[in-house]
Amino acid sequence: MCRLNAWRELVRNSFRADYKFPVNSAKNWFPGHMHKGLKEMQRKVIDVDCVIEVHDARIPFSGRNTTFKETISGVKPHILILNKSDLVPKSNREEIILKIKQADPIISEVLFANASKKSCPALRSVLPRAVKLIENSNRFHRGGKPDKSIIIIGIPNVGKSTIINQLRQQYLAVKGRATQVGAKPGVTRNVMEKIRVSNDPMVNLLDTPGISKPNIKDMHVGMKLAACNTLNDHVIGSMFICDYLLWYFNTHGHFEYIDYMGLNEPEENCNMMLAKSAIANGSMKIINEHGVRKTIPDYEGVAYKFLSGFRKGRFGRFYLDEDQLKAPLINSKMSNLNIYQDMSNEKSV
């Protein structure tokens, strides 16, 4: 505790309080395959009865593609799954749900889910919920067709395909994956044909490529999206992402990185942090400079360790949207909310 207080003081007195962005927002957030994917989705959405949007729970208020409202979902029932709940605290979930619903009344349900876990209770509840919403919706005129179609949308790498595979395994008790999953953005490139995930009720899901928000004006949002690996690292650059995360950890009191990286105290400068960590862990590499062999810190290797440590939850559970969480609620009728969370006791990683 004493150590923690000393670190907080150090950060408060001598570290940068605000973040100056070394990169600007004139980035290509929207690669070519996303244009194609969006067009395909717009063609197929005509047959769809409900939209399930998946987003990363670490950034509940940042980086959702709000243009989906105009391009895809319209007035169809819309469920938002905040996935990767194993990486965020169990506190504040009710407040987050309320704030999202207040800001975006088109959303019928918000759930926290952990699709990496076999029997996630929130995921088990999602199909019955969607079916109920569809049957209660006055747009449901399917001429007696018994099957229901749901499209799964969201930005890249948030777990859309994992959720489809999980639901299929849960309801049909089949092994294997119907749609490919991967730990980098852009794994699903095309809108898939319908994937049957349940026979009773008869439900088909459509997997789609992750589509980012076309313009990102707020660079905090861009950096958070990059930190959660919803963009390829090269779009921003690994070193810049590390630097942003280091600033975020220090200014928000998340000091778990210090032990993980083999450091003694908080570091303000990202290059210095990576160099000290490389030396402490023996992560050095030999380079040849003008015919002279030199041993230098393996900056890229250590930056990868830092980024993947965060992405795997090795620095503890927290939101990257803590500042938005502090904003007051418009009204706080929390007790009226239906909250479906993954309340299991899984550990932070």
Report the candidate in 176, 100, 161, 119 with the shortest Cα–Cα distance to residue 339: 100
Instruction: Tell the smallest beta-carbon distance from residue 188 to Mg ion (Å).
Output: 3
Residue among 188, 204, 229, 277 that touches Mg ion (CB under 5 A): 188
Q: Where are the alpha helices (DSSP H) in the chain?
A: 2-14, 32-44, 68, 93-103, 121-136, 160-172, 219-227, 233-236, 238-251, 256-260, 270-281, 299-311, 322-326
Beta bridge partners of 340: 111
Residue among 183, 279, 296, 337 that touches ligand GTP (CB under 6 A): 183
Residue among 38, 111, 127, 181 that touches ligand GTP (CB under 6 A): 181
Q: Could you say whether residue 161 binds Mg ion (CB under 5 A)?
A: yes
Q: Mark residues 246-285: x for contact with ligand GTP by CB under 6 A, - for none.
A: ----------------------------------------
Q: Could you say whether residue 341 binds ligand GTP (CB under 6 A)?
A: no
Rounded Cα gap, residues 98 and 77, in angstroms: 18
Q: Which is nearer to ligand GTP, 159 or 266 (CB)?
A: 159
Distances (CA, A) of 275 to 182, 242, 267, 296: 30, 13, 11, 9
Q: Which is nearer to ligand GTP, 160 or 276 (CB)?
A: 160
Two structure tokens written together for 273 = 């942090």
Q: Could you say whether residue 157 binds ligand GTP (CB under 6 A)?
A: yes
Two structure tokens written together for 205 = 């899901």
Q: Could you say whether residue 232 binds ligand GTP (CB under 6 A)?
A: no
Q: Could you say whether residue 83 binds ligand GTP (CB under 6 A)?
A: yes
From the list Mg ion, ligand GTP, none, which binds 108 (C-beta under 5 to 8 Å, kind-based)?
Answer: none
Residues 311-340 that bind Mg ion (CB under 5 A): none
Instruction: Assess contact for 255 and 3: CB atoms under 8 A.
Output: no
- Stretch binding ligand GTP (CB under 6 A), from 72-80, 110-118, 194-202, 302-310: 110-118
The contacts of residue 152 (CB under 8 Å, 6+ apart) are 52, 53, 54, 160, 163, 164, 205, 206, 207, 208
Residue among 60, 77, 185, 222 that touches ligand GTP (CB under 6 A): 185
**3-class DSSP assignment, residue 90:** coil
Q: Could you say whether residue 85 binds Mg ion (CB under 5 A)?
A: no
- Stretch binding Mg ion (CB under 5 A), from 107-115, 160-168, 233-241, 256-264: 160-168
Q: What does the H/E/C string look like for 269-333? A: CHHHHHHHHHHHHCCEEEEEECCEEEEEECHHHHHHHHHHHHHCCCCCCCCCCHHHHHCCCCCCC
Rounded Cα gap, residues 53 and 103, in angstroms: 16
Rounded Cα gap, residues 227 and 305, in angstroms: 13
Number of residues near Mg ion (by CB under 5 A): 4
Instruction: Tell the smallest beta-carbon distance from residue 31 to ligand GTP (Å).
Output: 12
Number of residues near ligand GTP (by CB under 6 A): 24
Q: Which is nearer to ligand GTP, 178 or 273 (CB)?
A: 178
Residues that bind ligand GTP in the complex, under the rule CB under 6 A? 83-84, 86-87, 114-116, 154, 156-162, 181-183, 185-188, 209-210
